[in-house]
Amino acid sequence: MGGEAPEARRLDRAMSFGGAGSIPEEALHLVLGYVDDPRDREAVSLVCRRWHRIDALTRKHVTVPFCYAASPAHLLARFPRLESLAVKGKPRAAMYGLIPEDWGAYARPWVAELAAPLECLKALHLRRMVVTDDDLAALVRARGHMLQELKLDKCSGFSTDALRLVARSCRSLRTLFLEECSIADNGTEWLHDLAVNNPVLETLNFHMTELTVVPADLELLAKKCKSLISLKISDCDFSDLIGFFRMAASLQEFAGGAFIEQGELTKYGNVKFPSRLCSLGLTYMGTNEMPIIFPFSALLKKLDLQYTFLTTEDHCQLIAKCPNLLVLAVRNVIGDRGLGVVADTCKKLQRLRVERGDDDPGLQEEQGGVSQVGLTTVAVGCRELEYIAAYVSDITNGALESIGTFCKNLCDFRLVLLDREERITDLPLDNGVRALLRGCTKLRRFALYLRPGGLSDTGLGYIGQYSGIIQYMLLGNVGETDDGLIRFALGCENLRKLELRSCCFSEQALARAIRSMPSLRYVWVQGYKASKTGHDLMLMARPFWNIEFTPPSSENANRMREDGEPCVDSQAQILAYYSLAGKRSDCPRSVVPLYPA
């Protein structure tokens, strides 16, 4: 390659423009048909007007990372032939109960303005949005006959009535995804109708919903949908699923269910899983039920133990029998001991998630959870890791260094230091974080949530300096002063999305830092030195930059989520983002949009 620079130079922009010598229109259409990566597409669209036009006509999929960043009309005007659309709504904090239910992110304009005119649309994915039965009815009316994929991911606002409509009308549906949605349950008919009407269904997911299931409907589903490869369901006793598993010959992935009567081996001894099953997450599985996995555990590629009752020892025994795992999700009950077994056994592991378990001592078997010891052994043992997310009870610089040294494929690293242990072995983590960032050059996402004193201004500066190609960051309880934030910001060339929580930065420093990050297009902050009016935020005002300020208020402290739990604490929040859609018109009363004067 090196010696051929002059050759390459001939491929200059002139080729792209019209006129003699340019690539024919048809050829460009064909070539671009093979370009899928959105970043490549973005680059293509910036070459010239002609390429921009052809990209627009041939783009099949678009993700709108934030629903208020663009308008449906804009999207339609530019990409009239979309086959697949994903739109994301509420800030991620909504998954942690930090965003009120009435915050916004309504699906209505997207469905109302796009469902009919996007004539090629086959797949719709909405994440953390409010979707009503009317929206789904409108979607089904316009696109139901050709809809192949409907993903409603952590959405709320609709009922099983709309699901029934989908089940009856969308006969080409291959994927119906409802994970973690809050759905009003008006009856189980939707599942029956889905089984009867959708012979091509491949993936059905209503995991972590409260929907009731009739086991006979699942059996019918297995009978009718011969290509069902993935099923994730709400709670339903495994003794009632024996018939389903017998029928579902193609099934490769299963999650959910329930062992209602734990310890009743006789009751669950007859559960036989389909032979192709290689991805599993059995809710409420306990020590006594675990052996039903053993016969095929060596085939498992994905294992989700987050929602089980297993002890540390159980984790060790089970994982020792799973040498082919690529994906493992657990709670921190796995302990350092369990992670040791992971490191010894799962040499192909690509994704590891260690969630936070119960804080109540006594309910968690292994005291202390996961620490630098477990992380280090995993880093050394599992060299293929691309994703590590862990809630740890203790941490050292050395453990982070190990990750930087051994996990060269890491794209996504997320670490939360829990607040239960008073003493942490080795703080601040400045040098460890630097070593990790220097070593893991493929990192695109990075989250670090510590405690006061966990990372100094110098360490925060390192994060900026070595941020490389990182596009998304979440930082909590890091830095000491505004100076640290400014140093951080000066290094972040490629950062697009930033979330900050519980940091001691002033409003003014935040505004200055945000302005100095050239690629930043979305930022969410909670927990900073807020002013009453957010006036210093105006320092970051610029064209197309929407600023939304949620003032600290005792009123917010009393707001309730749908399930009656208190929702938003009284800390101020800032959300700021680039938008082509202009002023947001559906702000709730708790949110104050700030715009340049």
Partner 1 sequence: MAGSSEQQLVANAAATTVAGNGSRFAVTCGLLRQYMKEHSGSNGGGGFLPAVTAMSLMTGGADAEEEAPEVRKTMELFPQQAGTLKDTQERKEITEKAQLTIFYGGSVVVFDDFPAEKAGELMKLAGSRDSTAAAAVSDAGAAAGQPCLPDMPIARKVSLQRFLEKRKNRIVVAEPLPESEKKEAESSKRAKKDDGGASWLQVNPTLSL
Two tokens, residue 177: 């995804």
461 CB neighbour count, 10 Å cutoff: 23
Q: Is residue 444 annotated as involved in ligand binding? A: no
Of residues 274 and 461, the one with the C-beta less far from partner 1: 461
Q: Is residue 589 annotated as involved in ligand binding? A: no
Which residues within the stretch 370-389 sit at the binding site for partner 1 (CB under 8 A)? 389
Residue 355 interacts with partner 1 (CB under 8 A): yes or no = yes
Stretch that binds partner 1, among 20-28, 70-78, 435-443, 496-504 (CB under 8 A): 496-504
Residue 589 interacts with partner 1 (CB under 8 A): yes or no = no
Of the candidate residues 282, 316, 424, 523, the single one contacting partner 1 (CB under 8 A): 424
Stretch that binds partner 1, among 113-121, 124-132, 239-247, 305-313 (CB under 8 A): 305-313
Q: Shortest gap between Cβ of 108 and partner 1 (angstroms)?
A: 24
Of residues 55 and 394, the one with the C-beta less far from partner 1: 394
The H or E element containing residue 405 is helix 397-406
For helices 160-169 and 133-143, angle between their N-to-C axes, nearest 10 degrees: 10
Two tokens, residue 60: 């099949």
Diameter of the chain by CA atoms?
A: 79
Q: Is residue 466 annotated as involved in ligand binding? A: no
Of residues 227 and 570, the one with the C-beta less far from partner 1: 570
Q: Shortest gap between Cβ of 258 and partner 1 (angstroms)?
A: 10
Of residues 24 and 564, the one with the C-beta less far from partner 1: 564
The span from the first CA to the last CA of the chain, in angstroms, equals 53
Residue with the two structure tokens 């859609």? 581
Q: Shortest gap between Cβ of 155 and partner 1 (angstroms)?
A: 13
Of the candidate residues 18, 33, 269, 566, the single one contacting partner 1 (CB under 8 A): 566
> Is residue 465 helix, strand or coil?
helix
Pairing of strands 573-578, 522-526: antiparallel
Q: Shortest gap between Cβ of 564 and partner 1 (angstroms)?
A: 5
Of the candidate residues 275, 519, 558, 585, the single one contacting partner 1 (CB under 8 A): 558
For 562: left if phi > 0, alpha if psi spans -120 to 50, otherwise beta; the answer is alpha
Residue 508 interacts with partner 1 (CB under 8 A): yes or no = no
Q: Shortest gap between Cβ of 11 and partner 1 (angstroms)?
A: 43
Main-chain dihedrals φ then ψ at residue 472, nearest 5 degrees: -130, 135
Residue 465 interacts with partner 1 (CB under 8 A): yes or no = no
Of residues 250 and 502, the one with the C-beta less far from partner 1: 502
Of residues 140 and 390, the one with the C-beta less far from partner 1: 390
Of the candidate residues 529, 538, 578, 584, the single one contacting partner 1 (CB under 8 A): 529
Of residues 12 and 565, the one with the C-beta less far from partner 1: 565
Q: How far apart are CA 81 and CA 350, in angstroms?
A: 35
Q: Shortest gap between Cβ of 136 and partner 1 (angstroms)?
A: 22
Amino acid occupying residue 122: K
Of the candidate residues 36, 570, 582, 583, the single one contacting partner 1 (CB under 8 A): 570
Of the candidate residues 30, 120, 469, 557, the single one contacting partner 1 (CB under 8 A): 557
Of the candidate residues 306, 494, 516, 590, the single one contacting partner 1 (CB under 8 A): 306
Residue 254 interacts with partner 1 (CB under 8 A): yes or no = no
Contact 409, 385 (CB under 8 A): yes
Q: Is residue 168 annotated as involved in ligand binding? A: no
Amino acid occupying residue 89: G
Which residues, including other chains, have CB under 8 Å from residue 229's CB and lie 6 or more apart?
202, 203, 250, 251, 252, 253
Stretch that binds partner 1, among 80-88, 432-440, 528-536, 574-582 (CB under 8 A): 528-536
Residue 356 interacts with partner 1 (CB under 8 A): yes or no = yes
- Exposure string of 527-559, with b = 16+ CB inside 10 Å and e = fewer, is bbebbeebebbbebbeeebbbbbbbbeeebeeb
Q: Shortest gap between Cβ of 377 and partner 1 (angstroms)?
A: 21
Length of the chain: 597
Strand partners for 231:
204, 254
Residue 238 interacts with partner 1 (CB under 8 A): yes or no = no
Q: How far apart are CA 81 and CA 345, in angstroms?
A: 47
Residue 102 interacts with partner 1 (CB under 8 A): yes or no = no
Which residues within the stretch 134-163 sit at the binding site for partner 1 (CB under 8 A)? none
Q: Shortest gap between Cβ of 189 and partner 1 (angstroms)?
A: 25
What Cα–Cα distance (Å) separates residue 527 from each residue in 230, 344, 477, 478, 547?
Answer: 40, 41, 9, 12, 16
Of the candidate residues 7, 554, 589, 597, the single one contacting partner 1 (CB under 8 A): 554
- Residue 258 per-residue DSSP state: B
For 180: left if phi > 0, alpha if psi spans -120 to 50, otherwise beta; the answer is left
List, in sequence order, the alpha helices (H) in 527-578. 554-557
Residue 180 interacts with partner 1 (CB under 8 A): yes or no = yes
Two tokens, residue 409: 């494929």
Of the candidate residues 102, 359, 493, 586, the single one contacting partner 1 (CB under 8 A): 359
Of the candidate residues 14, 15, 77, 95, the single one contacting partner 1 (CB under 8 A): 95
Q: How far apart are CA 13 and CA 28, in angstroms?
A: 14
SS percent in the chain: helix, strand, coil, step 5: 35, 20, 45
Which residues within the stretch 393-422 sit at the binding site for partner 1 (CB under 8 A)? 414, 416, 418-422
Residue 309 interacts with partner 1 (CB under 8 A): yes or no = yes
Q: How far apart are CA 474 and CA 482, in angstroms?
A: 17
Residue 571 interacts with partner 1 (CB under 8 A): yes or no = yes
Q: How far apart are CA 568 and CA 558, in angstroms?
A: 8
Q: Is residue 391 annotated as involved in ligand binding? A: yes
Question: Total binding residues for partner 1 by CB under 8 A?
Answer: 72
Of residues 357 and 381, the one with the C-beta less far from partner 1: 357
Of residues 84 and 573, the one with the C-beta less far from partner 1: 573
Residue 454 interacts with partner 1 (CB under 8 A): yes or no = yes
Of the candidate residues 188, 189, 214, 284, the single one contacting partner 1 (CB under 8 A): 284
- Exposure string of 327-361, with b = 16+ CB inside 10 Å and e = fewer, is bbbbbbbbbbbbbbbbbebbeebbbbbbbbbeeee
Residue 98 interacts with partner 1 (CB under 8 A): yes or no = yes
Which residues within the stretch 471-490 sit at the binding site for partner 1 (CB under 8 A)? 474, 476-477, 480
Which residues within the stretch 4-43 sit at the binding site for partner 1 (CB under 8 A)? none
Annotated binding site for jasmonate: 92, 353, 391, 414, 501
Annotated binding site: 92, 353, 391, 414, 501
